[in-house]
Amino acid sequence: MAFRLISRAVAPVGKSRVVSAALLGSTRNSVIRTAARGYSTGPVRKSGSNPMVWALAFAGASVAGYYMMTPAGKVDPHASPKSNPGVNVETKQKNNLDYQAIYNEIAEILEDNDYDDGSFGPVLLRLAWHASGTYNKADGSGGSNGATMRFRPESEHGGNAGLGVARKKLEDIKKKYPDLSYSDLWSLAGVVAIQEMSGPVIPWRPGRTDKLSQNDCTPDGRLPDASQGASHVRDIFYRMGFTDQEIVALSGAHALGRCHSDRSGFEGPWTASPTMFTNDYFRLLLEEEWVPKKWKGPFQYVDKTSGELMMLPTDIALVQDPKFKKYTELYAKDVDKFFEDFAKAFVKLGELGCRFPEDTKTYRFKSTLE
């Protein structure tokens, strides 16, 4: 099983990092394997600017998960995308794909010590999140079924700025497996990112199909605006059909990744282990004192202790709002409960807008960390 980190410390050694951590239900070999991947689990470093990389902010997760900023737009966030009845908007894929093999190939491209904190995991998680987070339960539009971020204008929406780097990273795998839809590939990449960064096992089903026209793009404004508060967060997630507990659980993906001032406008990581899936995000929200960052960028918070970690207004809403706070406290105390609830909520997120035949196989992938 993939291990779970609670505390973290890392010392850079050239392009490698040595992991030192308190582990739950883990083995020393798991730590060594993760260290060999080069994933950072300790003191954060500034990431260099990369003109080919995107504007961030979930997650996501990165959050990407990141849970990112979408600047307010003029488009009604509940509006339905235009349709083109004259075009066959879906493609069918075959069922003879080896999804474990595809999982393994995605896992192999995660490590890159020259990219951010040493992993493409957070940005791939953000891609999966944003491809799904456009869903509107009122009319069934959006969601992970379609991969419409391939087209303009959706690819240029504020919340998706720069995600081209994640889509491009997966292109070689798509070419190798032409029967694999982009929709399934992006969704699966999010699963790989979570599990390979020591998160919970995420059950996953294939069968998503790709739209073929920009007419099926969803309107801007459906993803969270990180500068807002609890009411906005609920508006966004309730539209997709999530509960308060699921909202908080999904927000825990902010244990991963960082914001970039040249992308989302915000700056910094949420935790000191931005490539390890932990419950540190919740612990830090409660244990640290968060103060406004003194800078010329958009309003955000930094921890008073070091000034190296950050929280967005939407993050602070999880401790300011009493209904959100009780779940924040729960997950800060119980990492196993967080993993359990996150996995369930993420499965739901990844299947928004999808209809699977009853006989569709559910996969539980073996992590390469095992």
Residues carrying an active site annotation: 130, 270
- Alpha carbon distance 159, 55 (integer Å): 8
- Alpha carbon distance 62, 350 (integer Å): 14
**Tokens (6 digits) for 327:** 């779940």
Supply the Cα-derived Rg of the chain in whole angstroms: 19
Parallel, antiparallel or unpaired: strands 310-311 and 268-269: unpaired
Contacts of residue 244, defined as CB under 8 A and 6 or more positions apart, other chains included, come to 234, 323, 324, 327
Contacts of residue 325, defined as CB under 8 A and 6 or more positions apart, other chains included, come to 318, 319
Identify residue 286 by its one-letter amino acid code: L
What is the layout of strands, in order, in the sheet containing 290-292?
A: 290-292, 301-303, 310-311
**Tokens (6 digits) for 48:** 């260099």
**Tokens (6 digits) for 291:** 């103060």
- Alpha carbon distance 117, 272 (integer Å): 10
- Alpha carbon distance 238, 53 (integer Å): 31
Contacts of residue 242, defined as CB under 8 A and 6 or more positions apart, other chains included, come to 250, 345, 348, 349
Max alpha carbon distance in the chain (Å)?
59
